[in-house]
Chain A
Amino acid sequence: QSVLTQPPSASETPGQRVTISCSGSSSNIGRKPVNWYQQLPGAAPKLLIYRSSQRPSGVPDRFSGSKSGTSASLAISGLQSEDEADYYCAAWDDSLNGYVFGTGTKVTVL
């Protein structure tokens, strides 16, 4: 099963901004919306961004998403220690007739 490509790690000091990329193809990100998930250690994934750029209620506006062509990105501004987690992107893939997930990015707050 193909995957969406993310950098394995990202780090920044508190208060700074970190951006995570998610690279796909024309059969997934290029034509379908992207969701982003946050997975804290030992916990289930939690929806962070849906429809590429929308935040569910309760998610701080420090988190933002965007999509262009076959790539998407997640930005976390005003980084806080509680943001240390793994982050995954996901999209439906028309060729595979299933979901594909990103490889995951571990965010560390220095």
Chain B
Amino acid sequence: EVQLVESGGGLLQPGGSLRLSCAVSGFTFSNYWMNWVRQAPGKGLVWVSIINNEGSDTSYADSVKGRFTIFRDNAKNTLFLQMNSLRPEDTGVYYCGRDGDGDDPIDYWGQGTLVTVSS
């Protein structure tokens, strides 16, 4: 059974840093591209970042470029999102998602972890 479990969320002040983790099981992690998607309270889904299966290629939404870094540890089956210079508008639930085969979008999602940025 495919499982993705996020952790690391919390409450912090603007300008702070946080690292999210996504531990996966049930599939060969090193074969799949992975994503982070966020959802502000009461709002829709917004894609944040993607990383290729080897960890050598990444892409980011304009809103987080230069502040967030996606990376992975294939030996530990874990995906990460390092978030720096956090802003109140970064508040929301962060989901990790497994990319589908070929050009298919995300097929499996974690349960999410809540990040709240507030003074």
Q: Which of A17-25, A63-71, A76-84, A93-101 contacts B (4 or more CB under 8 A)?
A: A93-101
Choose the segment among B13-21, B24-32, B82-90, B100-108 that binds chain A (4+ C-beta atoms closer than 8 Å): B100-108
Given contacts A1-B47, A45-B45, whether A98 and B103 have CB atoms under 8 Å apart is no
Give bound CA distance, A46 to B4, whole Å: 13
Q: Is the CB of B104 within 8 A of A51?
A: yes
Q: Report the contact-size class of chain A (Cβ under 8 Å from the partner).
A: 20 to 34
A residues with CB within 8 A of B: 1, 3, 32-35, 37, 39, 44-47, 50-51, 56, 86, 88, 90-92, 97-104
Q: Which residues of B from 19 to 63 have beta carbons under 8 Å from A?
A: 35, 37, 44-47, 50, 59-63
Residue of B nearest to A56 (CB): B107
Chief secondary structure at chain B's binding surface: loop
- Interchain CB contact under 8 A, B109 and A46: yes
Interface size on B, residues (CB 8 A): 24
Cβ contact within 8 Å between B45 and A50: no
Contacts A44-B109, A98-B50 hold; do A104 and B104 have CB atoms under 8 A apart?
no
Query: Contacts A92-B105, A101-B47 given; 16 further ones with Cβ under 8 A?
Result: A1-B63, A34-B105, A35-B100, A37-B45, A44-B95, A44-B110, A46-B109, A47-B107, A88-B44, A90-B47, A90-B106, A92-B103, A98-B47, A98-B59, A98-B61, A101-B37
A47 touches B106 (CB 8 A): yes
Interface residues of B (CB under 8 A from A): 35, 37, 44-47, 50, 59-63, 95, 100, 103-112
**Which of B106, B107, B109, B110 is in CB contact (< 8 Å) with A99?**
B106
Task: Report B109 CB to chain A, min CB distance, Å.
Answer: 5
State the CA gap A100–B47 with chains docked (Å): 7
